[in-house]
Amino acid sequence: MPELPEVETVVRSLFPCLTGQKIADYQLIDAKVWRGRNLFFLGNLKGKLITKIWRRGKLALIQVATGEILIFHLKMTGRLIWVPKASPRPKHTRFILNFQEVEEELRFVDPRRFGFIACRRSEEVEKETAPELAGLGPDALTVSWEEFKKIFGQRTARLKSLLLDQRLIAGIGNIYADEILFRARLNPLLPANYLSEKEWQLLWQKIKETLQEAIKYRGTSIRDYRDGANQKGNFQDRLLVYGREKQACPVCGQKIARSRIGGRSTYFCPKCQKLLN
């Protein structure tokens, strides 16, 4: 699933392409990916200028001059790509935005069709009352130490479960939860109330460092993920534990173990990430 670094990379790669473009038309090929308000609002987008594109958690948001905002969630296999109109259309293309005076178009492609598109008013997005935003915790890339400590300081659940809870902190998924915890030398099964103040601060730092490094390398392409230019990321070559079961730990040489937490495969080093010291 595209997580914060992948969506951030998509947004950054699409920003110079989309900003300032006028929408000519749209094609909703699969209505099942449309969520929320009446399709009438899509018609209002014609002829309107795109003014902004940004990310919130795992969501990509595109604002038009009408004040309407398109929200995209890529879920498991979604792609948001800027490609020539004449290029072959993938089988699983669900939605297309066409633009005036350019030979490219924006395509939303999603083989498993878990992703969705919504259209919300700007005030719903700004106040985070839109259903897609309501209840999201602070963004994992920008959360302050004070916010982080307040949110997690009194929790007792397992660390990995907490990092995956979008209501607490938005943007971290299965891949980066494992990578962050390994870099912080914390066991994913460890109850949060066992951490010292120093360990909490280290975890907060490793969240920032890991996500920033993943963005630098344009995200992780293990299966479906591509950026806005339809190119693979490179962070898969820098993964230290995720997907590396029975391979040697890059720090101590012990074999990486795999467990399941909340139905998710979880990778860690039993030596570097001891459950209890």
**CATH code, domain with 99:** 3.20.190.10
Domain with 212 in it: 145-268
Q: Specify the pLDDT at position 41.
A: 78
Domain count, the chain: 2
Confidence of residue 37 (pLDDT cuts 50, 70, 90): low
147 to 143, 168, 169, 264: CA distances (angstroms): 6, 10, 10, 27
Interhelix angle 4-18/197-216, nearest 10 degrees:
40
Q: Check whether residue 154 and residue 251 sit in a common domain.
A: yes
**CATH code, domain with 244:** 1.10.8.50
The verdict on residue 81 lying in a domain is yes
Sign of the dihedral defined by the CA atoms of residues 192, 197, 203, 208, in that order: positive
Q: Specify the pLDDT at position 114.
A: 96
Q: Check whether residue 96 and residue 183 sit in a common domain.
A: no
Q: Check whether residue 83 and residue 17 sit in a common domain.
A: yes
The whole model's pTM is what?
Answer: 0.96
- Catalogue the active-site residues: 2-3, 58, 264
Q: Judge contact between 56 and 143, C-beta under 8 A.
A: no
Q: Of 191 and 38, which is predicted with more confidence?
A: 191
Sign of the dihedral defined by the CA atoms of residues 128, 132, 136, 139, in that order: negative
The verdict on residue 275 lying in a domain is no
Query: CA 162, CA 93: separation in Å to the nearest integer?
Result: 34
Q: Specify the pLDDT at position 211.
A: 99
Q: Check whether residue 116 and residue 151 sit in a common domain.
A: no
